[in-house]
Amino acid sequence: MELRSKIPSGPIESLWEKHRFDMKLVNPANKRKYTIIVVGTGLAGGAAAATLGELGYNVLCFTYHDSARRAHSIAAQGGINAAKNYQGDGDSVYRLFYDTVKGGDFRSREANVYRLAEISVEIIDQCVAQGVPFAREYGGLLDNRSFGGAQVSRTFYARGQTGQQLLLGAYQALMRQVQAGSVKLFTEHEMLDVILVEGVAKGIVTRNLRTGKIESWTGDAVALGTGGYSNVFYLSTNAMKCNATAIWRAYKRGAGFANPCFTQIHPTCIPVAGDYQSKLTLMSESLRNDGRIWVPKDPGETRPPNQIPEEDRDYYLERMYPAFGNLVPRDLASRRAKDMCDQGKGVGETKRGVFLDFRDAIQRLGRETIEERYGNLFEMYERITGENPYEVPMRIYPAPHYTMGGLWVDYHLMTTIPGLYAIGEANFSDHGANRLGASALMQGLADGYFIFPYTLGDYIGTERPTPVDPEHPDIRRTVEEVEARIARLVALDGKRTVDDFHRELGRIVWEECGMSRDAEGLKKAIERIPELREEFWENAAVVGSGDTLNQVLERAGRVADFLELGELMCRDALAREESAGGHFREEHQTPEGEAKRDDENFQHVTVWEHAGENAAPVEHREPLEFAYVPPTQRSYK
């Protein structure tokens, strides 16, 4: 596997602009002769499909949802960053670039991050023109807030529903192209494989979720905007259907998988309440602006929280990080919460939780102000837990939330398979080892509206792909392989439910490859996961048939893939003998218990190549260079 990142040379400030000029264009009259397949209708996929339709390409767009408006981008609460400097507080493209490289703990590509910061400005223009109702000031200008500990106010937001509004913007643009006939949208179609013809991506195989029909679709390029893989943990803040099947199938056809162990555990989620729990709910990070995080000093504490006096409380983040306090980055906040619970100081019935307390903020600012700022979040918390956070402190605990790892892509967002692109959370490129708040929406839309539509033109203009014969044996073979796999799943007539396998996998990956990892645990997981996988293929209970709407079968296919991906995550975490961002290895920490990077040996992207069923994958490395932001130890003391 050859990793050519295709980063153009020159000063970083003009790299993208110059490169846009250097790339080939496709004559407007010729675009309609090319068919582009886009999988996924979230921020990245929806934006890409709409934009390609506007440009005149013939687009086939697929989603497993019943509507393109349901993708999980819709659940993002907080906001979207952009280097507009509308507040005049010293923000700039360069500062957003700098913050993102540092926040990612120096494990991302500088050129990609700079481009992202540059494009952030255009995204806001585009979304406002589409009618996204961002928050406004009385003068009619856009409002901003500071988010996730950033020292400038660069976050644009639409109440606590920014992801929803941005996604609806992309969805509406997509609907306009569907009406215009340039995009053909296939809902309730799940991609189950990518078709390679002589080593080049030429199409996909889908299953119609309503009828079970397996079909092949061919085109001149394929883009996967299929999101991240947090659901490998079973419990995460992702939606129930989020899965890794599309990117995993691409990996198994030869696309490199980059940094699978870089996952983000979000510190402010509602704790697990019981075994039946199906998912975890995120409470916006903005709560940490006013809430104070604490645990009782005494592990044997039995008094209700409001009766625990000040001197018996440990505001551990304020104590350990006086400069940033409760606003330390996500990875630190999460890890410290775990430490407290490991020491037995956790709260709630399960003792896996810490308090997020608004008592002082309510005293200082009044209940009304707190209600104005967080009313909808408090209401959501009460609906789920039955407790009133105005009166008793919230209980929170970290939960898997986002995956920085994903398919390896070059500067053009193309994977190691020619003609196959990965956009949005599905790729690995911009967030390094840790993503900053309000950056995911930015990246999804940058890829979809402003990067992929240009770089695709270069591929089409250079390669001039010709239509593939629909009877080509490579296509038939791929379809047959998908059909055989479905048949094997349907035939599973065991005793144990698919969800139960998923739960056990989640427990293993969470314990051994979650907030903190060590060699011993990872090795254990690498042994245990293949055993579980074997048991799955013998003893899973898949009821119903393959030729109808069958949600058990859908889940079974996704869990089967998670059972493979989980192992790769552990292998990657074991190979990375350092701590960086969300990847914390017990063996590699400073005396104060902070992540200790090893720039000498691990300043690279780890890219895994599939080497056959049950064979160890092959490790490749893309070295990273930092010419603009010199690597330093992150300090939030």
Residues 64-93 that bind other proteins (CB under 8 A): 65-70, 72, 74-75, 84, 86
Q: How far apart are CA 558 and CA 616, in angstroms?
A: 21
Indicate whether 276 belongs to the interface with other proteins (CB under 8 A): yes
Q: How far is CA 595 from CA 316, 516, 624, 635, in A?
A: 18, 10, 19, 10
Name the minimum Å distance from CB 636 to other proteins.
29
Calculate helix-pair angle for 551-575, 498-513, nearest 10 degrees: 20
Q: Does 551 bind other proteins (CB under 8 A)?
A: yes
- Could you say which of 63, 81, 120, 161 contacts other proteins (CB under 8 A)? 161
Q: In this chain, which stretch among 196-204, 271-279, 465-473, 597-605 interacts with other proteins, using CB under 8 A?
A: 271-279
CB 370 within 8 A of CB 326: no
Stretch that binds other proteins, among 168-176, 287-295, 528-536, 606-614 (CB under 8 A): 168-176
Nearest distance from C-beta of residue 494 to other proteins, angstroms: 9
Among the listed ranges 365-373, 403-411, 536-544, 585-593, the one in contact with other proteins (CB under 8 A) is: 536-544
Candidates 48-56, 415-423, 473-481, 530-538: pick the segment binding other proteins (CB under 8 A).
48-56
> What distances in angstroms separate CA 45 from CA 48, 247, 330, 370, one per listed residue?
5, 14, 27, 37
Per CB under 8 A, the list member of 7, 12, 23, 142 interacting with other proteins is: 142
Strands across the sheet with 263-269, in order? 263-269, 394-403, 354-357, 292-296, 313-314
The binder of other proteins chosen from 339, 371, 483, 500 (CB under 8 A): 500
Question: Is the CB of 322 or the CB of 544 nearer to other proteins?
Answer: 544
Among 111, 173, 246, 414, binds other proteins (CB under 8 A): 173
Q: In what order do the strands lie in the sheet with 214-218?
A: 189-197, 200-208, 214-218
- List CB contacts of 561: < 8 A, sequence separation 6 or more: 243, 244, 245, 248, 249
Window 290-319: contact mask with other proteins (x via CB under 8 A): ------------------------------
Here's the x/- map for other proteins, 339-358, by CB under 8 A: it reads as ----------x---------
Sign for the pseudo-dihedral over CA of 61, 279, 107, 86: positive
Strands 354-357, 394-403: pairing kind = antiparallel
Stretch that binds other proteins, among 62-70, 289-297, 561-569, 617-625 (CB under 8 A): 62-70
Shortest spacing between CB 381 and other proteins, in angstroms: 11
**Cβ closest to other proteins, residue 173 vs residue 468:** 173
Element (H, E) at 266: strand 263-269
Q: Examine residue 197 and tell whether it contacts other proteins (CB under 8 A).
A: no
Stretch that binds other proteins, among 90-98, 310-318, 393-401, 490-498 (CB under 8 A): 490-498
Check binding of 472 to other proteins (CB under 8 A): no
Q: Which is nearer to other proteins, 67 or 633 (CB)?
A: 67
Nearest to 225 by CA among 417, 413, 41, 418: 41
Count other Cβ atoms within 10 Å, centred on residue 466. Answer: 7
By beta-carbon proximity to other proteins, the closer residue of 413 and 468 is 413
The one segment of 109-117, 197-205, 447-455, 560-568 that binds other proteins by CB under 8 A: 447-455
Q: Which is nearer to other proteins, 339 or 382 (CB)?
A: 382
Q: Contact, 227 vs 163, CB < 8 A? A: no
CB of 349 to other proteins, least distance (A): 6
Q: What three-state secondary structure class fits 421?
A: strand
- According to DSSP, the β-strands at 292-296 and 263-269 are unpaired
CB of 163 to other proteins, least distance (A): 8
b or e along 335-366 (b: 16 or more beta carbons within 10 Å of the residue's beta carbon)? bbbbbbbeeebbbbeeebbbbbbbbebbeeee
**Closest distance of CB 368 from other proteins, Å:** 18
Of these, 47, 204, 468, 513, which contacts other proteins (CB under 8 A)? Answer: 47
In the complex, least distance from residue 628 CB atom to other proteins, rounded to whole angstroms: 27
Place of tokens 């994977």: 415
**Phi first, then psi: what are they for 595, rounded to 5°?**
-60, 135
The answer to whether 279 contacts other proteins (rule: CB under 8 A) is: yes
b (16+ CB within 10 A) / e for 276-300 = eeebbebbbbbbbbbbbbbbbeeee
Neighbouring residues of 385: CB distance < 8 A, sequence distance ≥ 6: 270, 273, 395
Cα separation, 608 vs 448, whole angstroms: 25
Distance, CA of 326 to CA of 19 (rounded, Å): 42
| 496: contact with other proteins by CB under 8 A | yes
In the bound complex, what is the minimum distance in angstroms from residue 488's beta carbon to other proteins? 18
Binder to other proteins among 299, 342, 369, 384 (CB under 8 A)?
384
Helix (H) or strand (E) holding 37: strand 35-39
Restricting to residues 236-265, name those near other proteins by CB under 8 A. Answer: 239-241
Give the SS3 label for residue 156.
strand
Q: How far is the CB of 489 from other proteins (least distance, A)?
A: 14
CA distance 46 to 348: 41
Considering beta carbons, is residue 135 or 575 the nearer one to other proteins? 135
Binding segment (CB under 8 A) for other proteins, from list 197-205, 331-339, 543-551, 579-587: 543-551
Q: How far is the CB of 455 from other proteins (least distance, A)?
A: 14
Please identify which residue in the block is written with the tokens 């106010």: 153
Q: In this complex, which beta carbon is closest to other proteins, that of residue 56 or of residue 530?
A: 56
Angle of helix 452-463 versus helix 43-55 axis, rounded to 10: 50
Catalytic residue, candidates 70, 107, 115, 330: 330
* Single residue of 158, 317, 451, 515 touching other proteins by CB under 8 A: 158
541 binds other proteins (CB under 8 A): yes
179 or 363, CB closer to other proteins?
A: 179
273 binds other proteins (CB under 8 A): yes
- Asked if 223 is part of the footprint of other proteins (rule: CB under 8 A), the reply reads no
Q: Specify whether 107 is catalytic.
A: no
Q: Which is nearer to other proteins, 78 or 465 (CB)?
A: 78
Give phi and psi for 443, each to the nearest 5: -70, -40
Measured in degrees and rounded to the nearest 5, phi and psi for residue 59 equal: -110, 135
Ramachandran category for residue 234: left, alpha or beta (phi over 0 → left; psi -120 to 50 → alpha): left
Nearer of residues 68 and 513 to other proteins, judged by Cβ: 68
Q: By CB under 8 A, is residue 413 in contact with other proteins?
A: no
The residue count for binding other proteins (CB under 8 A) is 81
- Which positions are catalytic? 330
